[in-house]
Amino acid sequence: MTQEEQIIAGLLGECRAVSERLAAYLLLGEKILASSVVLISFGVSVAINSGKLYLLIGLPFALSFLVVYLLFLNTEALSLGGYQAVLEREVARKMGYPVTHWESEIARHRHGAMANVCIRVMIGVIYVGSVTVALIQSVATTSSERLGLTNGIFCIVGTSASILIGSIAMVLSFIAEQRAHAKIKGISESVIRNGSSL
């Protein structure tokens, strides 16, 4: 086996390994999302059926935590996708033919697909709905005089602060997610072009 053949075999092996890691991140995200939806739905059902609507005050923070973690997993997946796209292009350059081209050609068109946009819009609608319910419940809990004035104000301020913190974390995570693919792709291209890590 020539040195060029060994390099191509190594690149193809790395493509396979990255594909496996990418699939693992996507599967983990799906499992966490499914489990979280079940747990959150169960919690909301219990709060409503037991008449303890004040428990809904924590819903936006729980949703924002879930969204931030899913964005973290998606950022990792996009980073791996950027790395794999560079590997695929390098294999195609060395072989003169695109043997593997999912990330370098196909997936980049899928990232902006209507289904992805609709999912993000739905998450936004659900989050805004949960924020509305939480704020209404914090005011209702305060006005019911169960907590007293000082604790009632603390409830409203605490609810508002948790919503603000969760919202900021989601926006920052979304921005990082959008930049990850291009950043890792650029780093990978530089390493392959310059051979600086060899």
Rounded-to-integer distance, Cα 25 and Cα 74, Å: 8
Domain count, the chain: 1
Task: Please give the residue range of the domain that contains residue 89.
Answer: 3-194
Smallest Cα–Cα separation from 15: which of 107, 110, 79, 91? 91
**Which token pair is 83?**
């790395």
Model pLDDT, residue 146: 61
pLDDT winner (highest mean) among 99-108, 140-149, 163-172: 163-172
Inter-residue contact 79 to 184 (CB < 8 Å):
yes
Inter-residue contact 22 to 80 (CB < 8 Å):
yes
pLDDT tens digit string along 110-158? 767 788 889 889 999 999 999 999 999 988 877 766 656 567 788 889 9
Q: Given CA atoms 85, 91, 94, 96 in this order, what sign does their dihedral have?
A: negative
pLDDT tens digit string along 25-64? 889 999 999 999 999 999 999 999 998 888 899 999 999 9
pLDDT for residue 173 is more than 80: yes
Q: Given CA atoms 103, 105, 108, 110 in this order, what sign does their dihedral have?
A: negative
Model pLDDT, residue 148: 60
Rounded-to-integer distance, Cα 84 and Cα 68, Å: 24
Rounded-to-integer distance, Cα 197 and Cα 21, Å: 21
Please report which confidence band the pLDDT of residue 164 belongs to, taking 50, 70 and 90 as the band edges: very high
What distances in angstroms separate CA 37 from CA 31, 79, 182, 188, one per listed residue?
10, 26, 31, 36
Q: What percent of the chain has pLDDT over 70?
A: 93
* Interval 165-191 mean pLDDT: 90
Question: Locate tokens 């390098």: which residue?
Answer: 90
Within its chain, how far is the Cα of 9 from the centroid?
32
* Interval 165-175 mean pLDDT: 95
Please report which confidence band the pLDDT of residue 198 belongs to, taking 50, 70 and 90 as the band edges: very low
